[in-house]
Structure 1
């Protein structure tokens, strides 16, 4: 891509961001964001301050990546650095080692990696002499510990079990096995898995504890097969003392089969396994019956949506943490109540709300009030007013509207009277739900994510050319949101 092409791409991305977030937010957070270069599938961006870098990383990464992908689908990663004396360093070179789907900051001076095994609570080197960079766990977050976890009625059972697992693992014993924690997004599953890893390893840095996201597990497995080292990979897995797998719903294909073998092997060898996913084991359609049965036969713990008391406790905890970092910062009780009452989606939005108010206070000097919260948190509050739309609802409404059977939408039929409603249903699933493209594909009869992406873009193109279709889809949206 030439310099001119890169500049034009960046202008289009900025225009998309401005349209998506509004002029005020764009001016506050994106006006000083610069595109340094594009290397392969990675876009290198820079900002003038560490604070701005951290703020964008915490709140707007997905929007920026979405804007890039809309203009160039080949771009799938971001690299965010702080400009020093007007210069962004380091520059990137083709093949630079940057973790997929992560944003790294120059303020951290390093890629996010598993912590060295010499540190307490971290056992992520390779077993059996394999290179540590070839076989390692996913990165842990030092902030996600039991001490920072806020307990309430919705999650107290999950927290109690997690502490028992960590305590038993620290003493080389096994309690419930396997443990499966499930909830919708943002309710604390990842926090608990990180907390178990830190607590279980605190007393013995040599204990082999591995935390893996499902996509990291698949990456290891596919890489091992590609390099004909599958036996070494399996041997590494079977030497683990405590295995923690996150985002189980993303595991698919032969990697899911390999996970089933690993699960059986570790449990048979009295090694602890803890898994987290967004649905109970019986709903994990990509797993075979034997693995689903094995997970269901362990201890299955749901985390319920947060009630008002727990939301308030979370906001209060995050506000206290912020006040300890910034002198003179205060969150009045009415503001705490306002956030807890109006933001009901999940814990990450509560954290984001506190971060936004801190940023607004630090940048403008304006005291934190309910008025400032109303102004700063408009989009989070609006999301509360929109009912949650399920893919099942979309299938039902679209099937009824176009007079086709739900089974036809999920089938491989290619007749026009089925293809168009199916594409519209996929478009609505992407537009109205938080499900990823692979998830939507699985719910639509096990289709590939590229099929979903093609359908979404096809409908978007048709809507630009056909005003009647646009009105029809808006009608479907209103029907789904009623």
Structure 2
């Protein structure tokens, strides 16, 4: 193993292994499970990797050890095992004397025969009053900053805001209004804030409520750990006796834990318990979920949050600037508020980050907060903003409306000209404006073969060369989708 003795040698080895993994599992899987791993060191026949979360440690160790071992052995035949440890504040924790197959779990008291299984300390859990004293399931871990008072409502999110407040009021009064509720939007528009606010308000109104807030990856972690500990039944029973279940980042739920969520959802709805779920796409687009689960979620109240308009962005920046003024005594001139609201258009977190950067710049350099300072300080936020991410569902909606063809007919087997032409244009736009592969586009268009998609794309490309009017029409559709 002399070629890997130096730091440079190990770095080159890790780059080769990453390339093999990416080629073997594909871009999406690699980004989800391997992109955040780091090679710490190789000691004798053990490769030590680190990951930033407990869940990622456990998942990769349990599901991909053999694949990673195979990738390393192409360079180092004597590697015997892979060890993944938790990286805290940029540094890996000291290695534990435990077998490689041992899942990374947090310490908790042993469960009694009648108690719920002990869950890792990582899930966000508000309160479980039926748990025994000292039970790892009890406690509070909601974000105290994410309340209804700190949420900035506007045209883009007013429906979601109103529904969330109604859910919290109803839950505190032992009633259920809408069930389940599904809130969806792209990243950074306030879904997690609303889920935390619901939990916080319900707990404030009635501290006896059993309220559970879990991200999807923590739900999977719970389920996998319970199965490994042979306590899955106890985990299910614990989850089914909550009064309010909040699941965030639903798009990351997959595999057996997605099936388990479906069973849990059915039980909670039957028992009139409140369920609120958040994800980055409508239920029908969550292809990793069972059709029955998608149907259950779609059958409840589905609430979208759209992109922030100028007025809402300005309100958010003004609120954050007022908070900074009250805390530090600094002044945010109106032109700076306007500049940030106009220039930072990605999402709410970037707006918060922009204000924080200006505060830091003022504190560290003593410069007054001005538009030139904002231009200098926020340059990368402005440069890195991306065009709106176009989804196939958006394309179907726009094309359906523009050509007055029902969405279900675009996905059907109908071959009439008034349906075929819009369907071909929709497939062409999906190829041009999204990162989806031809087989993926085919599946989304009624289960068609990738060759059908390719034919449609080439057909439209050929037509727009000779038909100026059609070319202009497609450019109009593109602008409508990218606005």
Instruction: Give the TM-score range, shorter chain.
Output: 0.5 to 0.7
Work out the CA distance in 2 between the residues paired with 1:164 and 1:223.
Answer: 35
Q: CA RMSD in A?
A: 4.3
Q: 1:131 to 1:266 in 2, by over 3 A?
A: farther
The equivalent residue for 1:230 is 232
State the secondary structure of the residue aligned to 1:202: helix
The answer to whether the aligner puts 1:340 opposite 2:341 as a matched pair is: yes
The equivalent residue for 1:374 is 375
Work out the CA distance in 1 between the residues paired with 2:93 and 2:439.
Answer: 49
Work out the CA distance in 2 between the residues paired with 1:131 and 1:396.
Answer: 58
State the secondary structure of the residue aligned to 2:233: helix
Q: CA deviation at 1:139?
A: 3.8
State the secondary structure of the residue aligned to 1:142: coil
TM-score after normalising by structure 1: 0.60
Aligned pair partner of 1:239 in 229, 237, 241? 241
Instruction: Please tell me whether the aligned partners of residues 390 and 482 of structure 2 are also in contact (alpha carbons under 8 angstroms).
Output: no
Instruction: Please tell me whether the aligned partners of residues 154 and 307 of structure 1 are also in contact (alpha carbons under 8 angstroms).
Output: yes
Q: Deviations over 1:168-218 (max 9, x none)?
A: 111222111111101111100000000000000113333110000000001
Work out the CA distance in 2 between the residues paired with 1:303 and 1:343.
Answer: 18
Work out the CA distance in 2 between the residues paired with 1:306 and 1:141.
Answer: 23
For residues 27-176 of structure 1, the aligned pairs below 5 Å read 40-42=48-50, 78-80=87-89, 92-95=93-96, 122-124=126-128, 127=130, 129=132, 132-133=135-136, 135=137, 139-176=141-178
State the secondary structure of the residue aligned to 2:367: coil
For residues 392-431 of structure 1, the aligned pairs below 5 Å read 406-407=438-439
- Alignment: residue pair count: 339
Work out the CA distance in 1 between the residues paired with 2:381 and 2:231.
Answer: 47
Structure 2: gaps (5+ residues): 15-37, 42-46, 53-71, 73-81, 98-103, 107-119, 396-426, 444-449, 451-480
Q: Deviations over 1:1-25 (max 9, x none)?
A: 99x9569989xx9xxxxxxxxxxxx
Work out the CA distance in 1 between the residues paired with 2:93 and 2:251.
Answer: 33
Q: Deviations over 1:444-482 (max 9, x none)?
A: xxxxxxxxxxxxxxxxxxxxxxxxxxxxxxxxxxxx999
TM-score after normalising by structure 2: 0.60
Work out the CA distance in 2 between the residues paired with 1:264 and 1:398.
Answer: 35
Q: CA deviation at 1:291?
A: 1.0
Instruction: Please tell me whether the aligned partners of residues 87 and 93 of structure 2 are also in contact (alpha carbons under 8 angstroms).
Output: no
User: Which 4+ runs in 1 deviate beyond 6 A?
Assistant: 6-10, 72-76, 96-99, 397-400, 408-411
Instruction: Please tell me whether the aligned partners of residues 123 and 218 of structure 2 are also in contact (alpha carbons under 8 angstroms).
Output: no
Q: CA deviation at 1:318?
A: 0.6
Q: 1:343 to 1:201 in 2, by over 3 A?
A: same
Q: 1:398 to 1:179 in 2, by over 3 A?
A: closer
Work out the CA distance in 1 between the residues paired with 2:223 and 2:217.
Answer: 10
The equivalent residue for 1:271 is 273
Instruction: Please tell me whether the aligned partners of residues 85 and 95 of structure 2 are also in contact (alpha carbons under 8 angstroms).
Output: no
State the secondary structure of the residue aligned to 1:243: strand
Work out the CA distance in 2 between the residues paired with 1:283 and 1:147.
Answer: 32
Instruction: Please tell me whether the aligned partners of residues 137 and 211 of structure 1 are also in contact (alpha carbons under 8 angstroms).
Output: no
Work out the CA distance in 1 between the residues paired with 2:193 and 2:182.
Answer: 14
Work out the CA distance in 1 between the residues paired with 2:149 and 2:292.
Answer: 36
Q: CA deviation at 1:221?
A: 0.6
Work out the CA distance in 1 between the residues paired with 2:440 and 2:273.
Answer: 45
Work out the CA distance in 1 between the residues paired with 2:185 and 2:382.
Answer: 22
Instruction: Please tell me whether the aligned partners of residues 114 and 140 of structure 1 are also in contact (alpha carbons under 8 angstroms).
Output: no
